[in-house]
Amino acid sequence: MVFGFFRRKKEKDKRPLKVGELRKLLKEGKYKEVYNLLKDRYKESNELTQLYFEALVNLGKREEAQKLLKEVGKENLPPSAVLKLMTEPQKGESLFEKFKRGLKKTRELLGLGKFFSTHKELDEEFLEELEELLIKLDVGVDTAVSLVEEIRKKRNQFKDINDVKEYLKRRFKEILNNCKGEFKLSKKPSVVLFVGVNGSGKTTTVGKLAHKLVKEGKKVLIVAADTFRAAATEQLKTWAQRAGADFVGDREGADPGAVLYRGLKKAFDEGYDVVLVDTAGRLHTKEHLLREMQKLVKVVKKFDKEQPEEVLLVLDATIGQNSINQAKLFASAVDVTGLVLTKLDGTAKGGAVIPICKQLRIPVKFVGVGEGIDDLEPFDADKFVDAMFD
């Protein structure tokens, strides 16, 4: 009996741990233990792959985690772990000290054009004020500090203040030209998912782009996969009518995946050129929202493994640095192929696109420059930067 007890205990110790037990180990911070337990069996199921990925990320095994991410796709991994992998290790806080120093003055915020026209001397005071202004314009603390440092080192090469202005414009354009990207519609139908938080202008952008494509002679279908927000379906239906596009939607609370499936079946069966899909912008938790995005991507891949052709993240240009956090959040769940910046007709100059471009290298595809149905334009980096200095 005693020997039987020890034999049963030994057999129990040898059995593989269940998903719930492994998840408990992760919560207890035992990442190394989970890593060792799963390194030879993480491919057995999607759940084990997710747990193994979390262990890799938390152990700082970035190369292995990146390889696994590339292998299975971010739609099959926990968004929180992907976001952690994407976030660079924190640097020292010397930049934050400069940030505090730069904002100690409370002068009124000027535009870049007016700023350069009211300064004559390229001295240290000018450089400090320029750094402060760039930070307030939401180009990012890192970018502001590094650009001003470049100017400081090259000070003797500038003849006057206008030379500094032209140098800054050139550097902005160099950064943004790294994020050039054409809007791709190479398949039939081409499926375009629109993601972003509520209030960013996502639904309006879908309607404006539909109008643009219909004018180009394309057969367009709009799918209302945001069934969580009250009146979202009706709002999008109205935009579809204005744009001359066809529409698929359902009642509030319907399953978004089912609505999308029905829309895609119609599009593939009836020879549409483009399918524009509006998605949810707010659910109970961030994780729930990102999981919903991943679910919709999987629905699209049932029809065509190489789609969606575009996943456009719609950002409100007036929210500044917060747009970077949003971009990172959505990019942790789905492969964002481009940005749409809205509300550039407001008071903001959209300076946050510069750090977004620099940090994430996501192409800017369109900008919203007004409330009219024709006020959606392809992004032009040179014109965008010139407008910042007006």
Q: What is the pLDDT at residue 269?
A: 94
Taking 50 as the threshold, does the pLDDT of residue 2 lie above it? Answer: no
Q: Among 9-23, 68-82, 373-387, which stretch is predicted with the lowest mean pLDDT? A: 9-23
Q: Mean per-residue pLDDT for 293-309?
A: 92
Q: What is the pLDDT at residue 260?
A: 93
Q: Mean per-residue pLDDT for 168-181?
A: 87
Q: What is the pLDDT at residue 190?
A: 94
pLDDT confidence bin for 89, thresholds 50/70/90? low
Taking 90 as the threshold, does the pLDDT of residue 199 lie above it? Answer: no
pTM of the model: 0.72
Q: What is the pLDDT at residue 201?
A: 84
Interatomic CA distance for residues 47 and 63, integer angstroms:
21
pLDDT confidence bin for 290, thresholds 50/70/90? confident
Q: Which residue has the tokens 């139908």?
A: 189
Q: Mean per-residue pLDDT for 80-90?
A: 72
Taking 50 as the threshold, does the pLDDT of residue 99 lie above it? Answer: no
Taking 70 as the threshold, does the pLDDT of residue 94 lie above it? Answer: no
Taking 90 as the threshold, does the pLDDT of residue 354 lie above it? Answer: no
C-alpha angle 343/239/376, rounded to 5°? 35
319 or 346, higher pLDDT: 319
pLDDT confidence bin for 307, thresholds 50/70/90? very high
